[in-house]
Amino acid sequence: MKRGRLAAVLPPIVFGILFLAAWELFVVARDIKPYLLPKPSAIWGQFHGNFTFIRKATQVTGTNALIGLLLGVVLGSAIAFAASRFKLLNELISPMAIAVSAMPIIVLVAIFNDLFVITSEIPRRLMVAVVVFFLVFINVSKGLTQADATQLELMRSYGAGEADIIRKVRVPHALEFFFVALRQAAPLAVVTAFVSEYFGGLQNGLGSRISQSIANSRDAAGWAYVVGACLLGLAFFLLSIALERIAMPWKVRRSSS
Amino acid sequence: MSDFAVDVAGVSMVFNNGRPNQVRAIDDVSLTVRSGEFVSLIGPSGCGKSTMLRLIANLIEPTSGSITVNGKPAAQARLDGDYGMAFQQAGLFEWRSVARNVELPLELKSWDRAKRRERALEMLRLVKLDEFADHYPWELSGGMQQRVAIARALSFSPGLLLMDEPFGALDEMTREHMQTELIRICAETGCSVVFVTHSIPEAVYLSDRVIVMSPRPGRIAAIVEVDLGKRSEDTREATDFFNKVTEVREALRGFEHTDRVISVDDR
Amino acid sequence: MGDRQASRARMRARARRVVMFALALLLVCAGWELYKMVGPEAGGKIFGAQLLPKSENRAMPHVWDMVQRFGRPEQRGSSRTVGQAVAEGAWYTFRLASVGLLLGVLVGMGLAILMARFRVVERGLLPWLIVSQTVPLIALAPLVVSWGGRLHIGGFTWQRWMSVSVIAAFLAFFPIAIGALRGLTSPPAAAVELLASYAAPWSATLFKLRLPAAVPYLMPALRLAANAAVIGTIVAEISTGLKGGIGRLVLEYMREATGDPAKVFTAVVGASVLGLVMAGLVGLLDNYVSRNRRREATI
């Protein structure tokens, strides 16, 4: 058992270390200027030095992402439940959801910025909520409507009512799809919160800090903020996986994602 | 061309050799298949008959012993295309038409397009499916798909057919019909056949000899000669047929009374 | 159900979905106008937080004003209409996104084939590919621009738009790589054994078995990749300041919104239509490629 774990983790770690080492050597050997590609060691130095700023910016972006994520998840699930119950609602929302998933809805931030005051964080949080909403809605709806035919027949043979069937069969099934959506939505929330900052408004989050650093030729600092963004995204992702493990302990994860 | 289509000499097969989950699937098996002969391998689940077939097909290498196909080592026979194979799932490629499925091995052997098409149609005529040449597999029934798989296996006229429970997924009536067809096809092409099956009546109906294998580790428990002459619809109801079926069944039953534990080699 | 009956039923279902979509759109517009009537002009507070949007015309133009704006000139005294400007911008972005998508498909397929061939590559590379998607490369867009600026091979100079396409490719390659890998490794053991029995080399197995088997996995992946390419292009345009595309237009019109509130909506609509067109093209490709395959249940 232990050997299997080690064998799985070792190759990527080796790849990663080799990659970082090659990067450092490449920059040093070819004497690459920092504005082109900073050394990993320089980035680490900046990360250390600017830690308070990085932490603050991460908090801002993280809070926006989190609020939007919660809102989107709650609304998406609730409306998915409602839609599974009321066919008309489903017929109205589903085609819209499918169309929206093909569009670059990130551009809606431009509209949100005009609807609220310039110093508001609402546009970004709303944007994250919208993006997450559609993702969660589509997946949870799928989970609620698809259910094992054999299990449904079994429930009917027990004389179970619609409410029971929903609780005992559809919801656990939907739970699986919910977490599929959450796994994607969590890092997506971070990226959306991040990208929303490019459209103007308050410039206190990671996105704006990165562009500012690069614009001021402080590339290593910019990369340090990027590392912060990666860590934030990773944290959200791990959190969603942890939640999944807690909620569905019976699921044994197979080898690949 | 030697007298024997297949010559298996002292073959053993051990999986995961040396590791704690080592399994001796086949233990010192020797058998021969004469040219033009139809031989069935039958035995309880896990007796190694499918493994034996894959050894002959050189899809795996034996741990010990040697296998000669068409007078050559099995590996060479595979490279030269001396046998055709059919599995329980017809395994047709759903994105190719029926004819193009039959053409697949010919494409791999770089036949030119016109010749391939001609041979594919010829094979489809043999299995009586030439009308469906440009249809797609999902439009055909299970039995028809298996016939296409057999046409594909014969497309480059190998002298040997290796078949792993090809009719196992079909219903009883289709199965009997396919057995009759297979006998006709073999008579027309003169090929030798090694046929793995679970069904005693099927083995007896089709074969010249039925080789009964013991549970793991697989050994040859008995060889039953089947001399029922030319098969027909009446054969299945003849007394001789029932007697042979009983003979094979008793050979298989022999294992139930021994205190054998299907064990894994301990090291 | 007979074949013809089935396809007619499918068309009816599709038509119904389109009608429902139009109806939903209408309801959204109705909701918009309703809020304009009852909502607070300068925005409002709920629980002490400024949560309600402004309903005045400068923030929320009437739906009809938005539609009309397409036909009027872009700037005061400009020669082309907003509609033309948006169409040109969308066309520019479409071309950039297509290049990015193509690049992403090539890289994604290449990586997938490598990973399918060598298990050690899959085990070492795949986790990093997954991690790579958590890096908001969008952030590094300006860096990609400056790298490109220093690239001189022969007479070839790096154009700014290429950086944008590269970023789109980065977002697009991942779903392709994952989908292709799953598809390439999907054939059952019996099919692989069949080809082994023909002594077929790995390349023959790749072209005759694995690639065709991968198509049903590639098509959904391509939809995701196309969507990612469009989003990546638009956002990269904004973060690199590239002119000519719809991303730039959205930003510009947003900045002019205090004086000209309806314009930004036209750009947003243009971007959305671009996304739909891209999805539609992928859908057509899917239909063509899967024409002989058995129809799976569609959404």
- The complex's ipTM works out to 0.83
* Angle at which helices C82-117 and C119-132 cross, to 10°: 150
| Mean pLDDT, rounded, of chain B | 87
- Taking the C-alpha atoms of residue C12 and residue C17, their distance in angstroms, rounded to an integer, is 9
Decide if A95 touches C, using CB distance below 8 A.
yes
Interface test with C, best of B50, B92, B93, B109 (most C CBs within 10 A): B93
* pLDDT tens across the length of chain C (299 residues): 566 777 788 888 888 888 888 899 889 888 888 888 887 777 777 766 677 777 777 777 888 888 888 887 777 667 788 888 899 999 999 999 999 999 999 999 999 999 999 988 888 888 888 777 766 767 677 777 777 766 666 667 777 888 899 999 999 999 999 999 999 999 998 899 999 999 899 999 999 999 999 999 999 999 999 999 999 999 989 888 888 899 989 988 888 887 888 888 889 999 999 999 999 999 999 999 888 887 654 43
In this model, does residue A9 exceed pLDDT 60? yes
- State the pLDDT at residue B266: 38
* Distance (Å, whole) CA A192 – CA A254: 29
Q: Kindly tell me if the per-residue pLDDT of A249 is higher than 50.
A: yes
* pLDDT class of A134 with cuts at 50, 70, 90: very high
pLDDT at C3: 66
pLDDT tens, residue by residue, B125-147: 999 999 999 999 989 998 999 99
Burial (Cβ within 10 Å: 0-12, 13-18, ≥19) of residue B19: exposed
Q: Per residue in A67-123, pLDDT tens?
A: 999 999 999 999 998 888 888 888 899 989 989 999 999 999 988 888 887 778 888
* pTM across the whole model: 0.79
Q: Choosing among C3, C195, C197, which should be mutated to test the B contact, i.e. which has the most B CBs within 10 A? A: C197
Residues of C in contact with A190 (CB under 8 A): 136
Note whether C touches B: 3 CB pairs or more under 8 A: yes
| Cα angle value B136/B108/B69 (rounded, 5°) | 110
User: Which pLDDT score is estimated for A238?
Assistant: 87
Distance CA C27, CA C34 (A): 10
DSSP chain C: --HHHHHHHHHHHHHHHHHHHHHHHHHHHHHHHHHHHHS-TT-EEETTEEEEPP-STTTS--HHHHHHHTTSBSSTT-SSBHHHHHHHHHHHHHHHHHHHHHHHHHHHHHHHHHHHH-HHHHHHHHHHHHHHTTS-GGGGHHHHHHHHHT-EETTEE--HHHHHHHHHHHHHHHHHHHHHHHHHT-S-HHHHHHHHHTT--HHHHIIIIIHHHHHHHHHHHHHHHHHHHHHHHHHHHHHHT-SSSHHHHHHHHHHTTTT-HHHHHHHHHHHHHHHHHHHHHHHHHHHHHTTTSPPPPP-
Residue B61: how many CB atoms within 10 A of its CB?
Answer: 10
Number of other residues whose CB lies within 10 A of the CB of residue C278? 23
Interface B:C, Cβ pairs < 8 A: 55
| Partner-chain contact C267 A106, CB within 8 Å | no
Is 80 exceeded by the pLDDT of residue A201?
no
- Supply the pLDDT for residue C107: 96
